[in-house]
Chains A and B, each alone.
Chain A
Amino acid sequence: MKAWSPIVSTALFVCLAALPAHALDVGQSVPDIELPGATVAPRLAALKGKVVYVDFWASWCGPCRQSFPWMNDMQQKYGAQGLQVVAVNVDAKRGDADQFLTEVPARFALAFDPKGDAARRVGVKAMPTALLIGADGKIVKVHQGFREQDRAELEALLVAALSSAKAQP
């Protein structure tokens, strides 16, 4: 019996280690994700009090290309009201991201996560994945993909988050 216990515990360990990490969900507090190379803040916690739209993108992802003009619009329209768009690049090679940015200009904060640490903590399941984080640090929306017809719905969510942030400063 005693000889079996290490074998059983090894089996248990393997089974538990194989469990996937859970993705973040609506209503949860967002962890203090590091934003390497970010132009606005080194960590997500530094942006608390603002409504933050964190978008994970890559140069090879088609819908990401579509989302950039929309994020530019949103940052321009609502930046003064306390919205901060942070686009986290997950390209393995920085050169690919820079090439993309010359083609599709970004007028919002950028961060670079070539190893995917931030993406792993958030539990990104598709590219792009965006988190809308309220001023209280709670996740309002996890959005996967980006289509032109998503614009109105996402903007409405942004506006709602901004107005609820204003109601309880």
Chain B
Amino acid sequence: MKRLALAACAFVVAALSGCSLFKPPQPWEKGQLARPEMTMSADPLDERFVQHIYSSKESASGGYGVGGGGCGCN
């Protein structure tokens, strides 16, 4: 019975926390993500052009690289 309760506890922890135990990086931990080789495209000007069109079509922006996704400075 005790073992069952323990297993139930473990299950509850796993089910409720899900993937939230894996924390996303904090804003000050994004040094690696900010590196130029971490962007999706090679050319920053081209990427900016694409994002400009995307944001006007979708009325959404941000989330691409650190510049647009965390410091409030599009």
Q: How many angstroms between the C-alpha atoms of A56 and B17 in the bound complex?
A: 31
Residue from B5, B30, B73 in contact with A3 in the complex, judged by beta carbons closer than 8 Å: B5
**Is the Cβ of B17 less than 8 Å from the Cβ of A91?**
no
Please measure, in the bound complex, the distance between the C-alpha atom of A15 and the C-alpha atom of B16, giving whole angstroms. Answer: 7
The reply to whether A10 and B12 form a contact with Cβ atoms under 8 Å apart is yes
Do residues A119 and B26 form an inter-chain contact, with CB atoms below 8 A?
Answer: yes
A-B interface pairs (CB < 8 A), number: 76
Give chain A's interface residues, CB within 8 Å of chain B. Answer: 3, 6-7, 10-11, 14-15, 18, 56, 58-63, 90-92, 96, 116, 119-120, 124-129, 144-147
Question: In the docked arrangement, what's the CA distance between A84 and B30, Å?
Answer: 27
Given contacts A7-B9, A119-B27, A127-B28, 4 further A-B contacts (CB under 8 A): A7-B12, A11-B12, A62-B66, A146-B71
- CA A92 – CA B12 in complex, angstroms? 35
Main secondary structure of the interface of B (DSSP, over half): helix
Q: A85 CA to B6 CA in the complex, in Å?
A: 53
A154 to B63, CA, bound (A): 27
